[in-house]
Amino acid sequence: MNTVQERTAKIADLGLVKKAGESLTEKGRKLGIRGTALYMAPESIRHEDYEPEADIWALGCTILELLTGKEPWKCDRNTERVTILFKIASTQEIPEIPSGFSEEAEDFLKKCLNFPTISNNPKSRWTADMLLGHPFVSTADGVFTRRERERERQFSWSEIMWRREKILGNGGSAIVYLATVVSPPRSNELLPSLMATKSAPVNNCQLLSIERELLSQFEGCPHILRCFGDDVAVEDGEQWYNILFEYATGGSLADPIQSFGSGLLETEVRQYTNSVLLGLSYIRNKGCVHCDIKPHNKLLVDEKDDLSLVLNGKMNMVQERTAKITDLGLVKKAGESLTEKGRKLGIRGTTLYMAPESIRHEDYEPEVDIWALGCMILELLTGKEPWKCDRNTERVTILFKIASTQEIPEILSGFSEEVEDFLKKCLVRDPKSRWTADMLLGHPFVLAADGVFTGSIREERNRVVHPKAA
C-alpha cells in the first residue's frame, strides 16, 4: 500500500504586484521594468507596460521550462541581461516550442506566447479564465479538476427566489426576460441582482436544453455570455424551463444600427471585433463551430470597472463594454456531419450571413463563422445588411446569389486600408483561403484596439467644449 500525496503549486512573492490599469510612476516618472528577464513580456520591456497579459506570457515561459527542463530563452553565463531584453523587446521571436509535445500542450503554449501571429500583441493572448477551459488544463485529474471547479461555483436554486420582469426578446425557441433575484443564495456571492432568463415551457424546451448542454463546454470564456445555471419553475400551473445568464445592459450590436440607421465608429467596431474573435478562437479550440454569427446575438456587457473622465469641468463615468457571443443552440462539432437517420438536417443559421459552402453542400466548419464575421463587421460599419435586399426579396434569391455566383458582399470605398483588408481576409469564397480567428487576431485592424481606452472613449474626450475666454 502506497500513500500518494497530492501537491498544489501556489503563487508566492507578491512584492511586485500592481493594480491593473495603474501606471508604475513615482513623482511623475516611470519606475522602470520589473520582473525576471527570461520571463518578461515584450510590452513590459518596450513600454514598461504591466497588465494581466504579461502574466500569461510569463506563464507560457514557465510551462515551457517545466516541460523541457531548459530556460525559455537560450543563454549562458556570459550572455548579458540586456541582450536577452533586446531580443524579447525588439525582434519578432518567441521562445522556441520544440516538437514532441502533445497537441494540447503545444496549442496551450501558442495561446500564451502569441504564436502564430507575428505581432506579439498582448491583447491576442488568452486570459487565465479562457486557459482554464483549454484541453491541456481541463484534462488534469488532480484535486481541482474542471468538473470540481464547476461544482464549487454551483449553488442550489431551491435556496433562491427570483422573478421574471419585462420581456427583452422573443426568439424561435424561447422568450428572454429580465430577471431579478428576490432571495439571493447564502453560499454564493457571484450571483448578480439582475440577470436575463431564457425560458420555454417544459413540454417544448428541447432546443433550450440542448443549448444548456452546449453552454457547459464554454465555461470560463469572458467573451461568451456567462451562464449561471438552469432550473424549472411553475408559473400559473405551467412548468417552465429557464436558463439564467448575465444581463447585457448594452443590448445587442444590432440595436444601435436599427435605432440610428447608420454604422458605428471604426474604433468601436475594432474593439468589438477583437472580443468576438477571442470568443471564436475559444470555440474553435474546443473543436466547435457556432454556425450563426450575426450582430443580433452579440450582446454588450458592461465591464465592472468604470472610467472617470473630466469633461467640461464635470466628472463623467464612461462604461467600457465587451461584445459577447450568445445563442449557442446551433453549435456543432467541427468535422461532424449534420445527419439524422442517414440524412442531412439542412442548412442552419441566418440567410444574410451564410457562407457559400453552407448553402451548396450544407458544410459547416470553422470557416463559416469567419465569413459570417466579415458580413457582420460590414453591417456594423455601414449600418446596412451585407446583401442588398428589401421586403420583397425572397430568401431563395439571396441563397442563390450567395451559393451560385462569384459575388461577395460589396465592400464600399471610404474605409481605412486596415478595415478593407480585414474584410477581404474574411469574405473569400474559398473557405480554405479565409484567415482563421487566430490569424485575424494578429491583423492590423484588430491590433489597433488599445484595451480599456477605446476609440469610443477617445471620441468622448474630443467632444470637450472649452469655455471661451472672457
Catalytically annotated residues: 292
C-alpha dist (Å) from residue 110 to 106, 228, 274, 277, 282: 6, 30, 18, 16, 13
Cα gap 434→241, rounded to integer Å: 39
Backbone angles phi, psi at 36, to 5 degrees: -110, 125
d(CA 219, CA 215): 7
Inter-axis angle of helices 52-68 and 103-112, nearest 10: 150
Residues comprising the chain, all counted: 470
Q: What SS3 state is found at 163? A: strand
Half-sphere exposure for 314 (CA within 13 Å, toward CB) = 9
- Which amino acid would we find at residue 470? A
Residue among 402, 454, 451 nearest 431 (CA):
402
Cβ-contact 374, 409 below 8 angstroms: yes
How far is 350 from 359, CA to CA, in rounded Å? 11
Provide the b/e sequence for 402-440 (b: ≥16 CB within 10 Å).
bbeeeebbebeeebeebbeebbebbbbeebeebbbbbeb
Task: Give yes or no for a contact between 427 and 372, defined as CB atoms under 8 angstroms apart.
Answer: no
- Which H, E and C letters describe 185-238, residue by residue? CCCCCCCCCEEEEEEEEHHHCHHHHHHHHHHHHHCCCCCECCEEEEEEEEECCE
The identity of residue 433, as a single letter, is: S
How many angstroms separate the CA atoms of 228 and 447, rounded? Answer: 32
Packed helices 266-285 and 417-426: angle between N→C axes, nearest 10 degrees = 30
- The most distant pair of C-alpha atoms in the chain lies apart, rounded to whole Å, by 90
Separation of CA 245 from chain center: 16
Q: Are 361 and 323 in contact (CB under 8 A)?
A: no
Nearest Cα residue to 131 out of 17, 52, 202 = 52
